[in-house]
Each structure stands twice: as C-alpha cells, then as structure tokens.
C-alpha cells in the first residue's frame, strides 16, 4: 500500500472536463508549431486517455508559451495543468513542478477552487518525494483550506492522510497519529474503502515504529481485511 497518495489521472480528467469541456482552438489536421494549437491538440488526446501521444505536444506547447497568443489565460492554465499531471505520473518532478507553478496562479485568479486544491496537493506531493517536508506541509495546509471550502470530503481525507505521512517522515509520531485518525474518520464517513485501508496501514506503521506491536497488529489486520475484500 502507498503511504503517500497522489490524486489519480482519472480524477483530473473529470475535473478538467467539468471546467473546460472543449478546447478553444480545434486541433489542426496538419503539423503545427503554434503553442496554442499544440495545447489544443494535446488536450483532445488527454481526454481520450492517449497520454503518451499528448505529452510531447503538451511539452512543446508549454515551452513555447512566451511567444504564444492564448485567447485567455485559462487556455495556458489547462495546458500547464495537464502537463504537470502527466509529467508527475512519469516521474519528471522538475517539469511537473514548473508546470503546476504556472497553472496555480491562473486558477487562483479565476477562483476555480477545485483545480486550485488539486494543484496545491500535487505540488505538496512533489516536495514530499523530494524530501522537502516543510514545503510539502505548507502546500498541503493550503490545499486543506480549499477542499474544506468546496466541501470535498474525500479530498480532505487524502490531504489529512498525507499530512500524517509528512509528520511520520520527520519522526513526529503524535502529530502523525492525530492526522491519520482524522483521515480515518472521514474515509469511513464517505465510504472510501481503499483510502481507509491506506490510513489503517499507516497507523499500523506508526505504532510498529514506536514498538507498540499490539496496536500495530490490530491496524494491520484491519487494513488486510479491507485489501482482501476489494
């Protein structure tokens, strides 16, 4: 089980479709080096889940943004957002971070809070995997405010669990347990069985690390029961 949970590609596909149902510029039939057209074409490929085909077009469109004439800033924002998601999924954290940092102020300005919360969480994940725990915590706390504002209880459970993992990674076990218990309550409330299993396993890990083996075994067995039932 993963101890730190990135939001899934399917989730961002749904979010993008909700807020940006079609690209402003249709993809051309012939090859082009226009960044706006490249972003539009890559968007279509992304929504068809043709991620490997979309990635090089996204990269080229994003890298040419300074000379591009986007109809509005959100067109660039979606190009940057999708590039960030695919780059992060492929382990290219430097490129993903750059793309997310371009997208973040755009969606803050447009008050598209669901996407803002997603981007903040993604940036936190990148900093966590880079071992930059202070920055990871800062962005997770910002994301937590946003998901609470929009009433995203499942997202709140993810972020609370991630905060627990950040504290655990720094040896701050009391704080980790507090966040994990809060995450567990929400995940049970929203019937997120997969997430519940992750949090139970994380709780078991903290107790195991502290030598409290009976408590660790209890949480591990609960996590195992969920995993077997999936």
pLDDT digits (tens, 9 = 90+) for 131-142: 999 999 999 999
Which among 148, 130, 128, 129 has a CA at the least distance from the CA of 138? 128
Structural domain boundaries in the chain: 1-149, 152-230
Class of domain 152-230: mainly alpha
Whether 164 has a pLDDT exceeding 90, the answer reads: yes
pTM of the full predicted structure? 0.86
**Fold: same for 1-149 and 152-230:** yes
Find out whether 49 and 16 touch, Cβ atoms under 8 Å: no
Confidence of residue 27 (pLDDT cuts 50, 70, 90): very low
Report the distance separating Cα 188 and Cα 87, nearest Å.
32
pLDDT digits (tens, 9 = 90+) for 190-229: 999 999 999 999 999 999 999 999 999 999 999 999 999 8
Give the model's pLDDT for residue 15.
54
End-to-end CA distance of the chain: 13
Give the model's pLDDT for residue 230.
72
Judged on CB neighbours under 10 Å (0-12, 13-18, 19+), 183 is buried
- Architecture of domain 1-149 in this structure: Alpha Horseshoe (1.25)
């Amino acid at each position: 089980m993963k101890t730190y949970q990135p939001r899934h590609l399917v989730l961002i596909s749904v979010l993008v479709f909700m807020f940006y149902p079609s690209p402003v510029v249709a993809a051309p039939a012939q090859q082009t080096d226009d960044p706006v057209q490249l972003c539009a074409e890559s968007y279509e490929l992304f929504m068809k889940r043709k991620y490997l085909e979309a990635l090089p077009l996204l990269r080229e469109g994003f890298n040419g943004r300074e000379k591009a004439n986007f109809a509005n800033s959100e067109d660039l924002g979606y190009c940057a957002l999708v590039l960030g998601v695919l780059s992060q999924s492929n382990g290219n954290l430097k490129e993903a971070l750059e793309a997310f940092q371009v997208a973040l102020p755009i969606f803050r300005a447009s008050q598209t809070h669901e996407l803002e919360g997603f981007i903040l969480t993604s940036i936190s994940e990148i900093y966590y995997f880079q071992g930059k725990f202070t920055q990871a915590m800062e962005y997770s706390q910002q994301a937590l405010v946003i998901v609470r504002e929009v009433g995203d209880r499942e997202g709140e459970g993810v972020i609370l669990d991630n905060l627990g993992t950040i504290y655990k990674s720094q040896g701050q076990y009391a704080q980790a347990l507090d966040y994990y218990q809060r995450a567990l309550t929400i995940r049970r409330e929203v019937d997120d069985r997969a997430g519940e299993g992750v949090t139970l396993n994380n709780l078991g890990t903290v107790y195991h690390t502290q030598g409290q083996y009976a408590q660790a075994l209890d949480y591990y067995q609960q996590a195992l029961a969920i995993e077997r039932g999936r």
